[in-house]
Structure 1
Amino acid sequence: MLIWVPILIITVLWGYAWVLMKEVLTYMGPFTFSSFRFGTGSIVLLLIVWLSRKRFPLRQYWRQLLLLGILQTAIVFLLVMYGLRFVDAGKSSVLLYSMPMWSSILAVKFLSEKLTPAKWAGLLIGMLGLLTILGWDIWLGHDWKVIIGELLIILAAVSWGISNVYYRLQLQHLPKLETNAYQMLFGTIGILIATFFTEWGEPIALNLHSGYYILFTGILASALCFSVWFLILSMIDMVTATISTLLVPIFGLLFSSLVLGENMTAGVITGSCLIIAGIIIAQVSGKIRQHVGSKT
């Protein structure tokens, strides 16, 4: 039971971070913020790695870590932060956390995992949820930029799913904390390059508010939460851990409504429920099958 205390803490922090990621766009460009955020997170994680004084085969795996960093940190958060310019924070968190659906689809092709009838049902329900959110916005006549922003965030979820499969194939045997530290470092370099070419010279307002947003998301939501997350992964099974991440969009929707005053439309609520239900059905079915198989 005690394991749910850190799970609750990090999912609350991650959910609240969506509010700050939206608010900070009034002070600087989306890529500039991502550079500050993950630059801060990388420094903190690398400091922790250095203090641990553990040997890590960086030279042997730098290419794989570079690709993981591009997929998991650079592409995901470049797309998310750009999409957040046009999409509500709560809705964005729901769309990004459709990631388990894409991971499941890719795992069939590249990890030789099988899709059970329950997993198929869960994926179809989740896809229906995505279409509900997008279709509702189209029906309401939202600006095309909103639709493009939503599609970019869905592409970010796909990239996150690809990174999960790539991690399983290439880097799963390595220490998790060190792997995360170096992939975040390489991802930050990719974000810095994108920032240089797209937002160089744009105004940046560094003050108490923007500094708080950077430090909170960089130190707490990135370095600390991911470190605790990897500890949780070593203590409970992957299915339970994945399901627990569904608390993030729930808190994201809640905080976005309370702090930002975002309107939770029927389409967002219905689509969110379908996505969450679909992922739970797909993940729990696998856990039940594994449990039954272990007893036979």
Structure 2
Amino acid sequence: MQHLRETIARLAEAGGDVLILGPSGSGKQTVARALHRQGPRRTRAFVHVACAALDEARFEAEMLGSEPQGRAPRQPGRLEAAHRGTLYLDEIDALAPVLQARLLALIEAGQFLPPGSATPRPLDLRIIASTGADLEALMRQGRFRSDLYYRLSGTTLSLPPLADRREDIPELFRHFLLMAAARLNLPVAPVTGAVKARLAGHGWPGNLRELQQFAESHALGLTPFDPRSDGGEAPGLADLVAEYEAELIREALRLAQGNATQAMTRLRLPRKTFYDKLTRHGIRPADFRPG
């Protein structure tokens, strides 16, 4: 992550187009905004376009805008708003091929003609696109234009899933927890041993987004991993260790899609020990199988 931050700083100052790759929730939009905020266009607009929400019927109005027509006022489009700034194309893989061609033509032309206007307007953009899809595979399937791919992918940043940088999870959780507590005007909830077990044992398939939601739930006292709030005693060390062990077993079964042999291999446990622990914690491998 330190290397990623350094790379973002260099790319931001260079000012070129960037393609950001990464799974859902890994922070692609955060990186895009950092590239804009640290770059030479920082005083201009950062315009976010959700490509999944664009269709052929809306493309012209959303992207190009329109001139005054009768009583209808002039409506500037996204391209005009982003002129001399940054256009962020979120989920670029969701854009239909016909709109991919239209977008590429506008970018390459360096100008655009709003409906109802007789004079083209200049277009000076920094393009940042992001996707969680394999664009090269989509190209082979004919679902993504190769000319647009090569136009966008001159510089590519890949964001790792949270599971590949587990050592960052506690610090990120505390960051999100402090943010949530400040926003909600609440005292910072203690990070209990049970919460730490959850942080260490869970796979976080939703990445940063899922971790942030968990932190906000904890700030509100909604997590099921806090000490008892009913006046009873807080869990002791044995209970915390048991909860941690159970969560690690569940995570191994999730990764193995319910295959007990693969899970016990991942955990390096003998067969009898593994099944004894399943019985103790009430865990069934069948619950983790697809379907």
Shorter-chain TM-score tier:
under 0.3
More strand by share: 2
TM-score w.r.t. length of structure 2 = 0.21
Of Structure 1 and Structure 2, the greater helix share is in 1
Choose between structure 1 and 2 for higher RCO, CA contacts under 8 A separated by at least 6 residues.
Answer: 1
If you compute each CA radius of gyration, which structure gives the higher value, 1 or 2?
2
